[in-house]
Amino acid sequence: MKLRNQILIGSSVICAAFLALIYIEPQILVTSLASHHYYLIALVIASFLLSFLFIWKFVIKRLEKLNRDVRKINQNQLMGRVEITGNDELATLAKQINNIVHTAHISQTTQERINQLEKINAQLQHELTTQESMVKELIDHKKYLLHLAHYDPVTALPNRIFFNEMLNKTIHHASRHKKMMAILFIDIDHFKNINDVFGHTVGDAVLKEIANRFSSILRSGDILARLGGDEFIVLLNDITHPKFANLVAEKLLKASSQSIKMNQHEILLTTSIGICIYPNDGVSLEDLQKNADTAMYKAKRGGGGIAEYFTKDAHIAMREHIQSESALQKAMTHNEFLLYYQPQFNLQNGTITGVEALIRWENPELGLLRPAEFMPLAEKTGFIIQIGEWVLREACKTNKLWQKEGYKPITLAVNLSPKQFQHPDIIQIIANILAETSLDPNYLQLEIPAHIIMDYAEETIHKLNTIKNLGVKISLDDFSAGSVSVPHFKKLPIHSLKIDQAIITEIPENQNNIVITNAIITLAHNLGIKVIAEGVETTEQLQYLASHHCDIVQGYYLSRPLPQQKMILQLSKTADALT
């Protein structure tokens, strides 16, 4: 309203000036000019100029400023505001423009935020989809790994791990409910010949066929597993009489003896089966499998193709027969000693990190004898020195042979008895055998009984340092609380220690053994020493040791001691054979 009044004032002044000029008679104008009446003309011109200046200042200049501000706002993408001057219609217009700009800016900002949120939502949806896919893959992979961990890839049967889990559960159940069960240890006779003649592909196909035949014979509650190589094991659950196991064994023998046709070849097989009855022949996983294995070798000595029960009478006769030095001397002369190898597993990645060499006596009359059945006599008579040297040389030769054949180098552990360790020439004997066999000393580990450290502390430390200087690893065997004082322990040049099997057997049930085990692991790791646990027989023991950072484990739960030809089936080959 005020702007309109300002324009009307200016316009009125200009109009008045023009009217004055129009309505003055020309004669008067001429007369005036002639009479030097210039004041009227000057008044008109002055009014015109004044009106123009008034309009220019209060209207045109402000409009130009408004235009510039609007253009600047447009260039700056709705940033900034129009300057407001005065209190008239142009000021009102400027305020309305600012309101429009503010509204448009809010709308633009809102749209940008909406676009950002939509983009973020799309990214989140993509990430969520990706995560869901990854979770599904992880679940599938976990299932796959669990399957691999519990089933044999060739036959799809349960493997040793799964079988041992089930056997331990069945032992607890049978103990509570006074049940009887049987273990059947099955070995295919001369299976190596099939792999050598027809190849491993045919060999695997034969194993699948044998597995299918065995499965068709057993009851739904029985368990058939493949232990590896050509070995199977059967758990006959809840039987009423030991004779039932023999009836099943006869069916298995008959099924395996029927010819198998492979690639136009007819393959004939026989199997040897060892039978062990719970609780008559043993009440622990190790005892049952050990005795079933003993019975199986008895069947093999009988020519194969038969089943044999484990009998305690044979053990009584065995002990009576071997309790003489001459029997040991004869065994050495007739090459009746041989080595078995028990794998040691790295708990971090599950790989075989080493093996322990264990002597066996293959007596032609009594079968396969374990160290506990003849080594005490060898220790007592001093014959342990000769046997021990043979074990060390044979173990080093075998390890070097594996390396030459291209198997990945691993550490081989050999036990030294107290009498061997105290022998004055033991260091020279070790050095000579390493030189003879060309074995890198880094792949030999000598296990020394922990108790002899306390008996001959300073002398022992000196001897251990001398052995270590050969490049050989040293491990303390049968280590427990009180085996050695901490000051002496800190001085020992050892690579590892092996926890006494008597401690492992009672974990995690025995709280005292748990405390001892934890203390041993902590002490060893603080000194940079690896910890080995032997005698692992249950899932609970394995899980406990893994969760408490034990480094290496061995035991029947993972693998029983194996003869050389079966041990190499567990080893992995390097890209190129070592020379």
Average the pLDDT over each of 3-7, 157-161, 190-194, 267-271 and give the range with the smallest value: 3-7
> Rounded to whole angstroms, what are the CA distances from 5 to 8, 15, 18, 84, 341?
5, 15, 20, 19, 116
Q: Are 501 and 538 in contact (CB under 8 A)?
A: no
> Domains in the chain, ordered, with CATH?
1-150 (no CATH), 154-310 (3.30.70.270), 334-570 (3.20.20.450)
331: Cβ–Cβ under 8 A, 6 or more apart, which residues?
337, 361, 363
Beta bridge partners of 297: none
Q: How confident is the model at residue 49 (pLDDT cuts 50, 70, 90)?
A: confident
Q: Pull the structure tokens for residue 161.
A: 């791990």
pLDDT tens digits for range 461-509:
889 999 999 999 999 998 887 666 777 778 889 999 999 998 998 888 8
Q: Give the total residue count for the chain.
A: 579
Q: How confident is the model at residue 368 (pLDDT cuts 50, 70, 90)?
A: confident
**Per-residue H/E/C for 193-213:** HHHHHHCHHHHHHHHHHHHHH
The pLDDT of residue 195 is 84
Q: Say whether pLDDT at 277 is over 90.
A: yes
Q: Say whether pLDDT at 96 is over 90.
A: no
The pLDDT of residue 166 is 92
Beta bridge partners of 183: 235, 276
The pLDDT of residue 578 is 35
The pLDDT of residue 455 is 60
